[in-house]
Structure 1
Amino acid sequence: MMKDFWNDKVVVITGASSGIGEALLKETSRFVCTVFVLARRANEIEEPSSKHKECKIIPIAVDLQDSCSVSDALEILHRETEGIDVLFNNAGITAHGRFDELSMEVYRKTFATNFFGPIQLIQGLLPQLKKKKGRVVTTSTVSALYGIPGRAAYSSSKSALHAALEAMRIELREEGVGSSLVCVPYTETALRKSGLDASGQILDEGQAKAKLKTPEEVALLLMKTAMDREARLVTFDRSGRFVKWMRNLAPGLLEKILHKKLYHDFKN
């Protein structure tokens, strides 16, 4: 079934140089398709050894924090393809810090990468997405479902993205453009090595002390989500489902649990 779906597709992946994006490239390149891989360090992206000989990989350098860079990438994409089947809106940045300590620059940088850059890219690719009745599959987080203590900038940037892409899905229903938001759990990536602290410095934190998913596991879930036109808000594990339901059923209890679980994160 995977082969039937992905063969002859045109795919765009943001944040493709590492982590989940790199795993998406590895998995999609197994098929006879065209994959545009977008990243700041696109020149460093290597073709996977498992790549199908007829798969075409096209790297494009882009910095989502820079609107001119996004415009340049869009110009290349418009020139190279007339239609897009799946856009994996995967690139993102995390930010850790208390609300009363976060600098406005952290908010600006976080929103530039997680919201404004992706929105500019998606809007610019709508003609190609409409032509193929394509789908936007967003790598999101449980932190987008509720304001997570110690993650105000990160949570709010992802929540804003959720709202915009949900509105897009409803508005473009008749044109056939879909949007799925996938709240992935803790994953073995370098996200905490490249995120921001409250003052805007590089976070450089170790992996979360939790059971981690591999980038390959998450990539396969994202690909399965792309194949399901009815997928809207997808949660991966028990913690995601818990926050998804508790935010409406018992928000007071949810806040008590988050306060206790993450107390040392935001208190320190």
Structure 2
Amino acid sequence: MRADTWVGKTIVVTGGSSGIGASLLDLLSQIPCKIINLSRTEPELIQKISKGKEKRAASLSHISVDLSSEKEINKAVAKLAKLTDGIDVLFNNAGVTAHSRFDQTQIEAFRKAFDINFFGPVFLTMRLLPYLKKNKGAVMVTSTVSGLYGIPARSAYSSSKSALHAVMESARIELSEEGLRFIIFCPPYTKTNLRANGIDGDGKKLGESHYSGKSKSPIEVAKKMIEAIEDPNARLVVMDKSGWFLKWMRNISPSFLEKVLYKKLYKDFH
């Protein structure tokens, strides 16, 4: 992390109340900059600062918003306009997972996944484009390796994230001449409450326990995300072998990839 890169910058983070978003706030708030968090719940760090229980070098603000609602996003942007007229970095971090077999998934689960993972970040980015253009800013979306290929028992999740990838790639090409950057970040399994707060095939709360295998900590992921913003050539960023495997095998040998996914995730869809 190069602190000088962030000094004096205006940063917007979504989903900073927990997990990776909270770690982004923790790391970046140690630098003299302006941070605006957008989430339903006010992050614990901002609560502590407002009560004088903690001090940070950054100026932190919180705007309460349901990022699946266009109406609420419009209200949040109106509030944000009173705090800044330019944005250097937008971390579109908020998201939801969805677990169920395709033949046991109701269309409502797809709608919920797309509202939060696709329409929310796309609409927010569209509304913040004037602020990003002013500062020639960067947009990063927190995706998943599941967005690199259709993963068994993750059809709603994978499709909502891969659709987001396509929008970011189009925007990257179209707006490059205006100095904007668009980065897709695909972390591996991370120790967050993503599964507990995800949705099942009926669109209801999933309530699953955390993945028991090898996984990254939110702070590890946040550090890598910050490094990716600092890299002017970053586009599609993965962190481990699983990400690289999906990224390359989908083009080299999709049939082999599907056999591996079938074997590895068989219990997930049976």
Question: Per the shorter chain, which TM-score range?
Answer: over 0.9
Q: Which residue of 2 aligns with 1:204?
A: 207
CA contact (8 A) 2:144 2:161 kept: yes
> 153-162 or 57-66, which moves further after superposition?
57-66
Query: In structure 1, how many angstroms separate the alpha carbons of the residues matched to 2:3 and 2:24?
Result: 15
Q: Which residue of 2 aligns with 1:34?
A: 34
Query: In structure 2, how many angstroms separate the alpha carbons of the residues matched to 1:127 and 1:29?
Result: 24
How do 1:1-268 and structure 2 match up within 5 A?
Answer: 2-42=2-42, 45-47=46-48, 51-53=55-57, 55-267=58-270
Q: 1:175 to 1:51 in 2, by over 3 A?
A: farther
Query: In structure 1, how many angstroms separate the alpha carbons of the residues matched to 2:107 and 2:182?
Result: 30
Query: In structure 1, how many angstroms separate the alpha carbons of the residues matched to 2:43 and 2:243?
Result: 35
Query: In structure 2, how many angstroms separate the alpha carbons of the residues matched to 1:25 and 1:14?
Result: 10
2:11 partner SS? strand
TM-score (norm 2): 0.95
1:79 partner SS? coil
Instruction: Give aligned-pair identity as a percent.
Output: 51
1:100 partner SS? helix
Deviations 1:216-246 (A, max 9, x none): 0000001111111210001100010001000
Shift of 1:84: 0.5
Deviations 1:138-172 (A, max 9, x none): 11100000000100000000000000011001000
Query: In structure 1, how many angstroms separate the alpha carbons of the residues matched to 2:173 and 2:228?
Result: 18
Unpaired stretches in structure 1, ≥5 consecutive residues: none
Query: In structure 1, how many angstroms separate the alpha carbons of the residues matched to 2:221 and 2:123?
Result: 25
CA contact (8 A) 1:26 1:50 kept: no
CA contact (8 A) 1:137 1:179 kept: yes
Runs (4+) of structure 1 exceeding 2 A deviation are 42-53
2:104 partner SS? coil
Query: In structure 1, how many angstroms separate the alpha carbons of the residues matched to 2:92 and 2:11?
Result: 11
Query: In structure 1, how many angstroms separate the alpha carbons of the residues matched to 2:267 and 2:224?
Result: 31
Query: In structure 1, how many angstroms separate the alpha carbons of the residues matched to 2:222 and 2:108?
Result: 31
Shift of 1:43: 6.7
Shift of 1:133: 0.7
| One-letter identity of the residue aligned with 1:6 | W
Shift of 1:52: 2.8
1:88 partner SS? strand
2:63 partner SS? strand
Q: RMSD of the TM alignment (CA)?
A: 1.3
Q: 1:252 to 1:26 in 2, by over 3 A?
A: same
Unpaired stretches in structure 2, ≥5 consecutive residues: none
CA contact (8 A) 1:11 1:36 kept: yes
